[in-house]
Amino acid sequence: MPRADRGPAGASFSRVTNSEEFERTPGGAVIMDGKRLRDEIVAGIRTKLDGLGNPAVCLATVLVGDDKPSQIYVRNKHKKVEEAAMVSRHVGLPADVSQGELEAAVTDLAQDPNVHGILVQLPLPEGLDAERVLDLLPPEKDVDGLTERSMGRLVRGRDGHVPCTPLGVMRLMERYGVETSGKSAVVIGRSTLVGLPQVLLLGRKGVDATATLAHSRTTDLAAVCREADIIVAAAGMAGLVTAEFVKPGAAVLDVGISRTADGIQGDVHFESVQAVAGAITPMPGGTGPMTIGCLMENTLSAARMLGALPG
């Protein structure tokens, strides 16, 4: 169906620039390409640092145990740090590390003036208390935005780091011209990593969406979602969001990731939804790369907050 026939699509995408033609799905939805935007962010940081005389901006990662997906995530983060002309440090600890040893390692990084951002890869192996570890991070170095102090700053509208995945969703919507002011948004999933901060970001002054937090107990989720101009699916339930959840022309962003017998799947049933939506994130290549892009952005702003950038 051509875009013009999709009712509110025009209204949702009035900020899409005429000068740029975005790629679309076979059904006509704009593809919100997270890889492309991440690469733009990384290249922009590289250029900025070059202009500042290449100060050594450092992201430290802490990985406990030998979980394969976590190892891959951390490796990918280091690759992008290098591409952004920043430097990284890695602390790998065995799965049987004690709480005290882990806390000592994180404290060392927290006190090291050459380290600007710290990321403790989650989840930690069973028996370790992640909250106590995260509480050791100074807010300036908390580039994941996950500590109580960073979350408190977000709630109170103060400057601080915002969790990378929901920030990545906001950046994608900005880049692809998804209008938010006065629009209705439904976020599915109430995790502290994504759903809760996502609702806060959507409702912020200047963004001005009317954001609803839906979850596993929401009555008639499909009907709630059908009212929305923007859907952010972060439930971790493969294929949950189908065409019947989506108002024609709505923007649909998939944050879910599930390992199934058929491979890694998102929360959004891409095939059916792309025929109805006005814009959609691919999976993979949508919100995942943006999490890393925003981690790079947060690391740069950590260095700025700590006075480590000239000028």
Catalytic residue among 80, 141, 142, 144: 144
- Using the rule CB under 6 A, give the single segment among 81-89, 118-126, 172-180, 247-255 that binds ligand GUN: 118-126
Cα(151)–Cα(178) distance, rounded to whole angstroms?
25
Helix (H), strand (E) at residue 103 = helix 99-111
Cα(9)–Cα(15) distance, rounded to whole angstroms?
11
- State the burial class of residue 136 (Cβ atoms within 10 Å of its Cβ: 0-12, 13-18, 19+): buried
Question: Does the active-site annotation cover 144?
Answer: yes
| Minimum CB distance to ligand GUN, residue 269 (Å) | 23
Q: Which of 87, 91, 110, 122 binds ligand GUN (CB under 6 A)?
A: 122
Q: Does 120 bind ligand GUN (CB under 6 A)?
A: yes
Q: How many chain residues bind ligand GUN (CB under 6 A)?
A: 8
Q: Does 297 bind ligand GUN (CB under 6 A)?
A: no
Q: Sheet with 58-64: list strands edge to edge.
A: 87-93, 58-64, 117-120
* Residue 6 DSSP symbol: S
The DSSP bridge partners found for residue 263 are 260
Catalytic residue among 33, 77, 198, 254: 77
For 180, the token pair is 């938010």
Question: Does the active-site annotation cover 121?
Answer: yes
- Using the rule CB under 6 A, give the single segment among 90-98, 115-123, 153-161, 183-191 that binds ligand GUN: 115-123
Task: Looking at residues 162 to 201 of the shown chain, list those that interact with ligand GUN (rule: CB under 6 A).
Answer: 164-165
Pick the closer one to ligand GUN by CB: 86 or 120: 120
Biggest alpha carbon–alpha carbon distance for the chain: 61
| Site residues, ligand GUN (CB under 6 A) | 119-122, 144, 164-165, 291
List residues with catalytic annotation.
77, 121, 144
